[in-house]
Amino acid sequence: MHENISALIEKLLPPNVAGMLRNSGLAGAHNGLSVYLVGGMVRDLLLGRLNLDLDLVVEGSAAEFAEALKAAYGGKPLCQSQFGTSKLDWDGIKVDVASARRETYARPGALPAVSPGDLKSDLFRRDFTINTMAVNLLPENYGLLIDMYGGKQDLEAGLIRVLHDKSFIDDPTRIWRAVKYEQRLDFQIEPHTLALLANALPTLDAVSGDRIRHELEKVLEEELPEKALCRASGLGVLQKIHPALTADEWLARSFRMMRASSHPEVHVKQAYLCLLVYRLSARQMAEFAGSLNLPTAWRQMLFDVAALKTIFDVLGYPALRPGQIYSILESYDKTALQAVMVVAPNDVVRERIALFLNKLSGVKPLLTGHDLLLMGVARGVKIGQIIEELRQARLDGRVNTRDDEVSLVTALLAR
Ligand code: ATP
């Protein structure tokens, strides 16, 4: 059965993307190279989901093909990387072009050894059957669906299935990917694959923190990441990052509240991470950060979550002035504050963090350092101190206008 999905391509994809696919096939034909659309876009086309990540596989040199495509139709080369992969930016569309390749694994968690291959071996190195389908882009066969490993059948049955029994052992990061796809698509990991996944859990220990972090970040970029996290928790996958982690109804509710309350400038992915570790002790958070090799800024953010948990008493003190709330909170990471605000244990603390984020953190005196110099303040630390005094006065409502500020500075200088 040779299904042709060119009509689906025309119907679902924006005209410039569909045009790009046709042009890719023409460029391949001109240069004697077979070109295929592969991966998530094929899967999502068949599911009727929009996906604009173009992954092309060429039987032959991807670099040569990318050059030919650029020469014929323009586009900006973004980079050429290891494994002969090229990235092109074509009218704002990002296109990944790779040479068909074969992969073999020396040991669990190691990166694969790569050698040139054909389409069949390239599809066989993939994680799940639903990701193994390809579409021929050459003009004479344009739109022909290639399904060598039963991807369409599993897609229709809603199943996540590995291609062979060693799949999770070869690459344990596929454990996280299985959970991510299952929850994103409302599919099921089929029973044999689930048994293989459970058996392969110990191999996650052999994978570098960077690679696990990459997969966790992908999960946190999902529309509803709590689904995959709860499933990963139930399977014991999450606990391979740190044994004290859990994802449950509390976490799901916190994520929902986070989305509902989030500021446009808050990094939602990082805020989710803060919520994920919120119930850990400071020491466990440090262990978590170490096991994922988190970047310094993210570590600092998690340390701020731990530190904020220790100041709820101070922050809940009955008669705090706005200037005092500012002083208590100004040094903390904004994303950590946003996350803690969602789950803090009492209303006063939540309201004060919200007041700080929504209003107080943006309060600045009208007078600048330059104005102070003109008023005779000496260069140096004094300028900063007066700016802080002015900010406190403004926060507490003791100055409201520029003239008020000038009077306050004059009084301070006279003192
Ligand atoms: P999507 O979630 O929409 O599939 P993605 O960003 O998760 O996108 P990528 O990580 O870009 O997908 O991977 C693209 C394709 O490469 C996947 O469809 C899959 O077939 C393959 N792939 C990615 N990672 C692995 C892996 N660890 N093992 C095997 N195949 C993989």
- Confidence class for position 80, pLDDT limits 50, 70, 90: low
Instruction: Name the nearest CA neighbour of 57 among 38, 78, 30.
Output: 38
User: Is residue 127 in contact with ligand 1, taking CB distance under 6 Å?
Assistant: yes
Section 147-167 average pLDDT: 98
> By the 8 A CB rule, do 352 and 314 touch?
no
Section 198-224 average pLDDT: 97
Section 381-407 average pLDDT: 94
Q: Is 54 left (phi over 0), alpha (psi -120 to 50) or beta?
A: beta
Task: Look at ligand 1, atom 4, and give the residue with the nearest C-alpha.
Answer: 40
User: Is residue 131 in contact with ligand 1, taking CB distance under 6 Å?
Assistant: yes
Q: How far apart are CA 156 and CA 151, in angstroms?
A: 9
Q: Which residues contact 184 (CB under 8 A, 6 or more apart)?
A: 222, 223, 227, 228
How far, in Å, from the CA of 61 to the mean position of ligand 1?
A: 21
Task: Tell me the longest C-alpha to C-alpha distance in the chain.
Answer: 92
* Residue 251, pLDDT above cutoff 90: yes
User: Is residue 122 in contact with ligand 1, taking CB distance under 6 Å?
Assistant: no
Mutate to test the pocket of ligand 1, among 47, 50, 87, 131 (most ligand atoms within 8 A of CB): 131
Q: How far apart are CA 176 and CA 216, in angstroms?
A: 8
pLDDT confidence of residue 114: 87
Q: How far apart are CA 137 and CA 297, in angstroms?
A: 44
- The per-residue pLDDT of the chain, averaged, comes to 94
How far, in Å, from the CA of 243 to the mean position of ligand 1?
A: 27
How far, in Å, from the CA of 366 to the mean position of ligand 1?
A: 52
Section 363-387 average pLDDT: 92
What Cα–Cα distance (Å) separates residue 67 from each residue in 54, 82, 85?
17, 17, 12
Query: Tens digit of pLDDT for each residue in 305-354?
Result: 999 999 999 999 998 999 999 999 999 999 999 999 999 999 999 999 99
Q: How far apart are CA 125 and CA 211, in angstroms?
A: 18
* Residue 83, pLDDT above cutoff 70: no
User: Is residue 126 in contact with ligand 1, taking CB distance under 6 Å?
Assistant: yes
User: Is residue 171 in contact with ligand 1, taking CB distance under 6 Å?
Assistant: yes
- Confidence class for position 378, pLDDT limits 50, 70, 90: confident
Report the predicted TM-score, pTM, of the whole model to 2 decimal places.
0.93
- Confidence class for position 228, pLDDT limits 50, 70, 90: very high
Tell me the two tokens of residue 293: 């090799």
Q: Count CB neighbours of 285 within 10 A.
A: 23
Section 88-114 average pLDDT: 86
* Residue 266, pLDDT above cutoff 90: no
Section 177-191 average pLDDT: 98
Tell me the two tokens of residue 125: 């190195």
